[in-house]
Structures are given as C-alpha cells and as structure tokens.
Structure 1
Amino acid sequence: MNAHLVFSAIRRGLLYLGLSIAAFISIFPFYWMVVGATNTSPDIARGKASFGTYFFQNIAAFFATVDVPRMFWNSAFIALVGTALTLIVSSLAGYGFEMFRSRFRERIFALLLLLLSIPFAALMVPLFIMMAGLGQINTYTAVILPGIASIFIIFYFRQATKAFPHELRDAARIDGLKEWQIFLFVYMPVMRSTYAAATIIVFMANWNNYLWPLIVLQTGDMKTVTLIVSALSYAYVPDYGVIMVGAIAATLPTLIIFFLLQRRFVEGMLGAVK
C-alpha cells in the first residue's frame, strides 16, 4: 500500500514538473517581450532578462515612428468585419451541410475537405489576379474576401451542429418559423459556445494574418499591425525596444478577446450545447 502511495506521489510530481516546464516554455516568450519593451536595444541584444527603465521612451519612439491610430484601425476593421462575415457564411454552410440531406452532400463536403490540402502559396497568384481584375488591390475587400468561406470553420460548425437538438428545430417548424428564423432565433442562441470558440479562432487568424495582406496592401496608410511591426525590423539598425512595444500592441487585442470569451471557448471546443 505504501509503495502504491509512493508511486502515485512520484507520478503526480512528474506530471506537475512536466506541466511546469510546458507553462514556462509557453509564458517565457511573452515575458521576454514585456521585459524587452522596458530596455534599450543594446540591453536586449546582450540578453538582459530583467526589467529596465526605458519603457516610456520606447513607447514614445514607437508613436513617433508609426501612425498607431491608422494601423489599429486597419487591423481592427479587417479583423472584425472578416470575423463577422466568416462566422455568418461558414456557420450557414455548416448548418446546411448537416441539416439538409441531398444526394451529393457528402461528396461536396469531401471535396471541400480535400481543398484543405492545397497550400495557400499555390493560391496566391490566382487570387491576386482575381483581385486585380476586380480592381480591389490595396483595399480591405482584397484582404477580407478570400477568407470568408473558411473550410475549417465550415467543418467545425458542421461537427458542432451534430449535437444540436433536432427536436428544437421540429418544434420551431410546428410553431410556424421559417428556416432562416430557426437559424437566427433558435440555432444561433443554442450554439453560442460554438460561435464564441469560432470567434476567437477566426479573429486571431485575421488579426495575425501576414502573408496575404503583405501582397495586396501596397501603401503605407493601408498596412496592418503585423506588417508594421515586421517592417520595424527592416531598419539598418533595428530598435528592439520599439519592436517589443509593437509586439505587445499587436498581442493585446487577441489576449483581450480570448479572456473575454475563454469560458465559452472551452465549452465550444468540447462541443457543449446549451
């Protein structure tokens, strides 16, 4: 019995040790970013890992170098509008794939999943030509439009819809609701945890999007946060303190969204339906 207790204690200790190491690895980059924002560029280059006194100077230099309001407006508009449209279109598609049966439903869905295997790099040139033909280069539309019908989010909503109580849909039909009313007033409130999880995933993807905006946004006044922060490192002598301030500014919105929706995010990822 004592040997069993000792073995259990050792196993628990090893588990906590592994979790502590994983937590340290996950948190240390953020800690380094915050510490770096308080130090000078030479201190960061030397690997100083303690807080300094240069935080406000770095912030002042960041605001002097970058048009911060315009940068945040560009990123916020793309992220918010892109997230809203993606959730609407992809949830409608996921709902339709699960609720409506047809002869070719599974084949079409399998084709969509197959398209996930195509790397975005293979689609960039056709997408650019398409946007150029529509006259949308260097516009918000060029960034937002290609990501609205997200195959992954469609798949996610279809899988989550499998747990949706079909009795509610039948009861709503008996009450005289049309299909769009069932989706809007029954499905969406019941699946709010799924929407919360999808909101975090899509918002982070839109906010952190780098490659496609780099291609289609060609003037400085249209650049997003990720592009501006990346451009700060292109200088002949990069100011790492200013770059760290920019990295913090780019990280905060996604942190806020996650902490506001974290409980719903966990429920949505576990497939909870209430």
Structure 2
Amino acid sequence: MKIKKMINRFLVYTFLIVIFIASIFPFYWMIVGMTNSANEVIKGKLTFGNQLTHNFMTLITSYNLGRILFNSIKISILTVIGTLIVSSMAAYGFEIYKSKVRERIYGLMLLSMMIPFAALMIPVFKIIVNLNLLNTQAGVILPSIASVFIIFFFRQSFKSFPKDMIEAARIDGAGELRIFFSIVVPSMKATYAAAAIFSFTTSWNSYMWPLIVLQTNEQKTLPLLISNLASAYFPEYGVIMTTIVLATLPTIIIFFTLQKYFVQGMTGAVKQ
C-alpha cells in the first residue's frame, strides 16, 4: 500500500510539475525575448541577451511609447472609475428598489450578454460618430462604463448586504446618495476591488473597439501598438516582447496588490 501511495504521489507531482512548466514557459520566453534581438528570438534562444536597452530605447524613440502608455493608462483608469460608479449604482437600484417591471428589465439586460459585440459595433459606431466622439478617448470609454456583467456581479453582492442598515439610515434622515456613498460603498470594498480588477483588465487589453474608434497614432493604445509591431514587414520581435512585458506588468501589479480583496469580492464578502 505504501508503494502504491508513493507511486500515486509521484505521478501527481510529476503531472503538476509538467503543467507548471507548460504554464510558466511562455512568460519566461517573453521575458528572455525582450533582452534579445529579432534574429535571436527567431532562432529560439532561451537565454538572456544584452539587447534590453536597445529594445526599450527603440520603443521610446521610434514608437512614442510614453504617449501610448499614457493613453492606455488614462483610458483604463477613467473606464474603471466610470464603470464602478455607473454599474454599482444600477445594481443597487435593481436590488433595493422594487417595481413590477424591475425583473423584466433586468432579465432583458442579462439576455443582452448573449449578443456578441461584433453585432453591436456598427450601431454603436454610428452613435459615436453622431456624437462627434470619433478618434477620441471618450469614444472608447463611454460604451464600456455600463457593463452588464459588472451590474450582475454587484447585484449578487448586494443581495447579501444587510437591508436593516439602509432602513436605519433612512429613518435617521439620510438621503439615498449619502446612504450609497457613505454606507454601502465603504462596506463593500472587496466587491469594488474585484470589479475594478476585471474592468481594468478588460479595458487595458481591449483591442477591437479602440482599433475602430482611434484612428491616429497620437491616440493609440498598447494593444494597438503591439498589433502594429507584429504586422510589420520585418517584425522586431525583441521590441515586440518588450512591449508585451510592459503591457502585462500593470495587470499583474494590480492583481497582486488587490488579491486579498479580489478573493473576498468573488465570494461575495461584505464588511459589516
């Protein structure tokens, strides 16, 4: 029995090690690639090189990295702020205020999640054009702040929020906005952190919609820069790897910074 248990444990750990290597190898290859030249990346070199400074300076001088990085950060942060405010208030209204048509409207919103964005691009694009928001960052941000998934996520969390606290605040004369921002929001930091991570990641990695709306190099974002680099006649793979690493770092930093709140938020934890 001991031998059988040892064999089973060996097989399990071997399987886990193989999965770990398969999962971590692309990240290792990406980091190594940013230190090598294009030819070395093509040859499959898996050791660190000395081209990191050259690749990074090429990004700064030839592709206006500073401006593009600023565009991505600005769009993502404003999208997160707008999404958290609009979607959480909408979810709060759906959960707290009762009406005969509330669930029907909410059900239609959930059904809209089944419609692929590709089917909505043309009408949304026409709206953006009519509002004179084409080739503006606002044209990228506004269609993203009312997220049906985030509304659903917040409403599920609001279901566990103690309604007695809201009633007590109303009896004390507090207005609805004061109740929401002074009582509900501080009590649900974990939920907001989880929603912020999801919203930031979605906005930061967004490619299709910014590609349609942003039509000048001054407005480009990092995903668009990576696409342009990869579609060049002679792709500079070292520069591409450097850009991908830079595009990956913010999401990693935000996730590990808010990891504790993210886990609590995903389980619907409410701080009372």
TM-score by length of 1: 0.94
Structure 2 residue corresponding to 1:52, chosen from 49, 53, 68: 49
**Number of the residue aligned with 1:258:** 255
Alignment pair present for 1:31 and 2:28: yes
Name the amino acid aligned to 2:101.
Answer: F
**Number of the residue aligned with 1:141:** 138
Alignment pair present for 1:82 and 2:79: yes
**Number of the residue aligned with 1:218:** 215
Are the counterparts in 1 of residues 60 and 66 from structure 2 also a CA contact under 8 Å? no
Point out the more displaced range, 20-29 or 146-155. 20-29
Distance verdict in 2 for CA 1:165–1:18, change over 3 Å: farther
Listed as ranges, the matches of 1:190-205 within 5 Å are 190-205=187-202
Give the distance between the partners of 1:141 and 1:240, measured in 2 at CA. 32
Give the distance between the partners of 1:197 and 1:180, measured in 2 at CA. 22
Point out the more displaced range, 184-193 or 226-235. 226-235
Residues 63-108 of structure 1, C-alpha deviations (whole Å, 9 max, x = no match): 2221112101111111000110011000011111111111111111
Alignment pair present for 1:231 and 2:222: no
**Number of the residue aligned with 2:59:** 62
Residues 96-148 of structure 1, C-alpha deviations (whole Å, 9 max, x = no match): 11111111111111101110011111111111111111111000111001111
Give the distance between the partners of 1:18 and 1:111, measured in 2 at CA. 44
Shift of 1:27: 2.1
TM-score by length of 2: 0.94
Identity of aligned residues (%): 50
Listed as ranges, the matches of 1:82-121 within 5 Å are 82-121=79-118
Give the distance between the partners of 1:264 and 1:19, measured in 2 at CA. 27
Shift of 1:171: 2.2
Residues 23-45 of structure 1, C-alpha deviations (whole Å, 9 max, x = no match): 33332221111000011111111
Give the distance between the partners of 1:60 and 1:18, measured in 2 at CA. 41
- Matched residue count: 271
Cα root mean square deviation, aligned: 1.6
Partner of 1:149, secondary structure, is coil
Point out the more displaced range, 100-109 or 191-200. 100-109
Name the amino acid aligned to 1:180.
Answer: L
Give the distance between the partners of 1:249 and 1:85, measured in 2 at CA. 25
Structure 1: any 5+ residue segments left out of the alignment? none
Structure 2: any 5+ residue segments left out of the alignment? none
Residues 222-269 of structure 1, C-alpha deviations (whole Å, 9 max, x = no match): 001110121111221111001011111111111111121111111111
